[in-house]
Amino acid sequence: MRIENRGEKTVVVKDYSTRGFFVRLYGRFTLKREAAVYRCLAGLAGVPCCYGFDGNHSLVIEYIPCRKLREIGRGNVTEAVFDRLDALVLNIHSRGVAIVDLHGSNVLVGGPDDVYIIDFAHALIARNSRRPGRVARFFMQLDTHAARRIRARYLRQEMPAPAGVLGLLYGAGKGLKSVLKKLRYG
């Protein structure tokens, strides 16, 4: 990924062209998905503009001059930012898109009204935006839970616990992650 000036625009270029064969293959797959997501979200405030492909393995996206949320210290962000984030997540869901990978590195903040979500490489597009299927709804619930966790973390609140099937799967995933971490690091 690199930042370039192209005429009067500053852009981010997600580029897999110099990577190995399998990484290029994976990159091409995720860039196609990401471009499709950006088409679904075109014109939505809080989502950068996608300018399309530059070759087979590069996607060009609007550069947003904001800071990643993870770079901002906890307690240094107002509640209005998280209200805007919640509204943005709902607007994205209303277009039939589940973000799937929502975390502090994919949220850009410039102020209470300058909140963006970036990086839709793992996003899921529902076949019908008005009636998303079970899988899409599940990932949308996961997005909503992730937004609640981000809010709690940065506002120093108690972490919310997911309920129902989401809670069960979330707990199983955390347990598996813990086991894998122990196996990896001893």
* Residue 98 pLDDT exceeds 60: yes
The arithmetic mean of pLDDT across residues 79-98, rounded, is 96
Whole-model pTM: value is 0.84
What's domain 2-62's architecture? 2-Layer Sandwich (3.30)
Separation CA 163–CA 116 (nearest Å):
27
Residue 105 DSSP code? T
Q: What is the pLDDT of residues 10-65, one digit of tens each?
A: 999 998 888 888 888 888 888 999 999 999 999 999 999 999 988 888 899 999 99
Report the SS3 class of residue 22.
helix
* Fold equal for 2-62 and 67-185: no
Fold of 67-185: Transferase(Phosphotransferase); domain 1 (1.10.510)
Separation CA 49–CA 62 (nearest Å):
5
pLDDT value of position 1: 79
The domain ranges of the chain are 2-62, 67-185
Report the SS3 class of residue 109.
strand
Q: Is 152 in contact with 79 (CB distance < 8 Å)?
A: no
Report the SS3 class of residue 26.
helix
pLDDT value of position 186: 57
Contacts of 95 (CB under 8 A, 6+ apart): 40, 41, 44, 129
